């Protein structure tokens, strides 16, 4: 299930006989490409030892709220920040009740309380406990707060009774978890995204390129698809699997990327240029391999077409988002690009050295961005590229709506500089 790839899932395991099934959930999540960390309650550990889940998840299992060692490493706040989603499976009647009351006196309930990410619970308990008005009221309360209910199923139970209260079957549970990442903020929209580097041939065996891995652009495409858009991903040469529900077009050179983008943007609503397109290419692509000699070799380079600038000029109604990869004066250069290329938004991306807060950017799994758009800005602090892409798409959807509200009246694209002195609007 591609939709769970690269997602960080925090799995809570509480005191229920169904705790043993959590092992299979971990295995299947990891098969789907998710990173899983497990938090167990004391009750959960009565049924299955933490060692089992440690072996299956590949990470230490977290159990204690007031453990100085884990608080210094990955304590409850770090776990809450780390996760893209929390799933408590199985969730006992007692845990459901604790969640309703906002308790924070054990690690799992504290993490749930401290987290802002989607929370799903898969209740598992005896049928009478499930049917009890107290449990039913608790479930209604949690649902009304946006907690997603996965199950329970009906059938034979460990206690020998038959009824509702079994842990939801694995496949629908995983489907439900994957749908936690779906929103509909771009439903009905077509989004063209560029990603990765380009390669500009010098001769049949050599090329000019850059360090882009495509991770940022692929995360943007994934987040747009999860937001309900039809996504066309124009990808440079990268070794990444295609995101779910994206139409992928593979290209090599800047010219091919240009042609693929231009063939699709006329029907699109939004264009997001995350690719690191080569700015120059060799004037001559030698037919044969250039022979080594002791002389210096001079390559004559010519500029490639700026895809983003051309798209923005030719399709003024299209909502255009650029990235600005900079090693100095990030904000200044990003704002210049926003204005010169007449964009609706720019994502300023520090790619210089000592980028501790961005953990490397090129090729890494994390990044940080500063967004600027006419009249506003937002700082997206360091996190996984996937989470960042999701935040970017939220801003894009908001600004797209605002712009279309105005453009319907004026039919013109107004490019104003953001008020950079303002407090970030997020
Ligand atoms: O791929 P990763 O390893 O995950 O790394 C992500 C990233 C650093 C590549 C990405 O976040 C990023 O910053 N992408 C833009 C890189 C870049 O080329 O920036 P630029 O400042 O040189 O270009 C400005 C904008 O013009 C970009 O949106 C670029 O896609 C676009 N452009 C540039 C040149 C060109 N010929 N055509 C273009 O469309």
Task: Based on the fold, state whether residues 210 and 124 are members of the same structural domain.
Answer: no
Best CA proximity match to 388, nearest among 365, 372, 418: 365
Q: Going residue by residue through the chain, which has 426 residues, state the pLDDT in tens, using 9 for 90 and above.
A: 778 988 999 999 999 999 999 999 999 999 999 999 999 999 999 999 999 999 999 999 999 988 776 666 678 888 998 999 999 999 999 999 999 999 999 999 999 999 999 999 999 999 999 999 999 999 999 999 999 999 999 998 888 888 999 999 999 999 999 999 988 999 999 999 999 999 999 999 999 999 999 999 999 999 999 999 999 999 999 999 999 899 999 999 999 999 999 999 999 999 999 999 999 999 999 999 999 998 999 999 999 999 999 999 999 999 999 999 999 999 999 999 999 999 999 999 999 875 555 556 899 999 999 999 999 999 999 888 998 999 999 999 999 999 887 765 555 555 555 655 433 333
User: Residue 319: CB partners within 8 Å, gap ≥ 6?
Assistant: 269, 270, 271, 344, 345, 396, 399, 400, 403
Task: Based on the fold, state whether residues 228 and 136 are members of the same structural domain.
Answer: no
Does residue 426 fall inside a structural domain? no
| Boundary (domain end) residue, out of 130, 152, 181 | 181
Provide the CB-side half-sphere exposure for 96 (13 A, CA).
30
Task: Based on the fold, state whether residues 101 and 198 are members of the same structural domain.
Answer: no
Task: Based on the fold, state whether residues 382 and 260 are members of the same structural domain.
Answer: yes
Task: Based on the fold, state whether residues 250 and 327 are members of the same structural domain.
Answer: yes
Task: Based on the fold, state whether residues 262 and 345 are members of the same structural domain.
Answer: yes
Does residue 425 fall inside a structural domain? no
- Determine the distance separating the centroid of ligand 1 and the alpha carbon of 274, expressed in angstroms: 5
Note the Cα 116 to chain centre separation in Å: 15
Task: Based on the fold, state whether residues 302 and 369 are members of the same structural domain.
Answer: yes
Range of the domain at 141: 2-181
Q: Which of 238, 276, 362 for a ligand 1 pocket mutation test, highest count of atoms within 8 Å of Cβ?
A: 276
CATH number for position 407: 3.40.50.10300
CATH number for position 30: 3.40.50.1950
| Boundary (domain end) residue, out of 181, 206, 235 | 181
| Whether the Cβ atoms of residue 197 and residue 210 lie closer than 8 Å to each other | yes
| C-alpha span between 51 and 30 (Å, rounded) | 17
Catalytic annotation, residues: 159
Ligand 1 atom closest to 367 (CA): 11
Does residue 30 fall inside a structural domain? yes
The total domain count for the chain is 2
Task: Based on the fold, state whether residues 88 and 118 are members of the same structural domain.
Answer: yes
Does residue 23 fall inside a structural domain? yes
Task: Based on the fold, state whether residues 229 and 323 are members of the same structural domain.
Answer: yes
Pocket of ligand 1 (CB under 6 A): 194, 196, 212-217, 254, 273-277, 279, 304, 306-308, 322-325, 337, 349, 351, 361-363
Helix axis angle, 215-226 to 385-410, nearest 10°: 60
Instruction: Tokens for 169, please give them.
Output: 């079957």
Q: Which of 237, 277, 318, 362 for a ligand 1 pocket mutation test, highest count of atoms within 8 Å of Cβ?
A: 277
- Determine the distance separating the centroid of ligand 1 and the alpha carbon of 197, expressed in angstroms: 8
Task: Based on the fold, state whether residues 167 and 218 are members of the same structural domain.
Answer: no
DSSP string, 312-331: HHH-TTSEEEEEEEESS-HH
Does residue 74 fall inside a structural domain? yes
């Amino acid at each position: 299930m591609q939709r769970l790839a690269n997602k960080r899932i925090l799995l809570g395991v509480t005191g229920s006989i169904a705790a043993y099934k959590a092992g299979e959930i971990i295995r299947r999540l990891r098969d789907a490409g998710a990173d899983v960390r497990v938090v167990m309650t004391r009750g959960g550990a009565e049924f299955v030892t933490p060692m089992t889940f440690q072996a299956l998840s590949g990470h230490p299992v977290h159990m204690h709220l007031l453990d100085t060692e884990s608080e210094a490493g990955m304590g409850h706040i770090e776990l809450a920040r780390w996760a893209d989603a929390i799933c408590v499976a199985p969730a006992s009647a007692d845990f459901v009740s604790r969640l309703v009351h906002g308790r924070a006196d054990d690690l799992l309930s504290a993490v749930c309380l401290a987290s802002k990410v989607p929370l799903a619970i898969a209740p598992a308990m005896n049928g009478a406990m499930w049917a009890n008005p107290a449990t039913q009221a608790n479930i209604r309360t949690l649902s009304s707060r946006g907690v997603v209910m996965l199950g329970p199923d009906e059938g034979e139970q460990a206690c020998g009774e038959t009824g509702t209260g079994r842990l939801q079957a694995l496949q629908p549970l995983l489907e439900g978890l994957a749908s936690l990442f779906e929103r509909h903020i771009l439903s009905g929209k077509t989004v063209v995204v560029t990603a990765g580097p380009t390669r500009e041939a010098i001769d049949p065996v050599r090329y000019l390129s850059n360090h882009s891995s495509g991770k940022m652009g692929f995360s943007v495409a994934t987040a747009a698809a999860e937001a309900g858009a039809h996504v066309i991903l124009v990808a440079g040469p990268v070794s990444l699997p295609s995101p779910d529900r994206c139409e992928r077009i593979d290209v090599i050179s800047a010219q091919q990327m240009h042609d693929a983008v231009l063939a699709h943007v006329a029907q699109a609503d939004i264009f997001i240029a995350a690719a690191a397109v080569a700015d120059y290419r060799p004037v001559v692509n030698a037919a044969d391999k250039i022979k080594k000699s002791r002389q210096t070799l001079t390559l004559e380079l010519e500029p490639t077409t700026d895809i983003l600038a051309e798209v923005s000029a030719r399709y003024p109604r299209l909502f255009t988002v650029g990235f600005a990869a900079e090693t100095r004066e990030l904000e200044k250069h990003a704002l210049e690009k926003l204005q010169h290329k007449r964009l609706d938004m720019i994502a300023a991306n520090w790619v210089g050295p000592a980028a501790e807060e961005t953990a490397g950017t090129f090729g890494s799994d994390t990044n940080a961005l500063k967004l600027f758009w006419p009249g506003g800005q937002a700082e997206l602090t360091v996190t996984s590229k996937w989470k960042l892409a999701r935040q970017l798409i939220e801003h894009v959807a908001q600004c797209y709506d605002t712009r279309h509200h105005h453009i319907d009246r004026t039919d013109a694209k107004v490019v104003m500089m953001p008020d950079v002195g303002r407090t970030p609007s997020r």
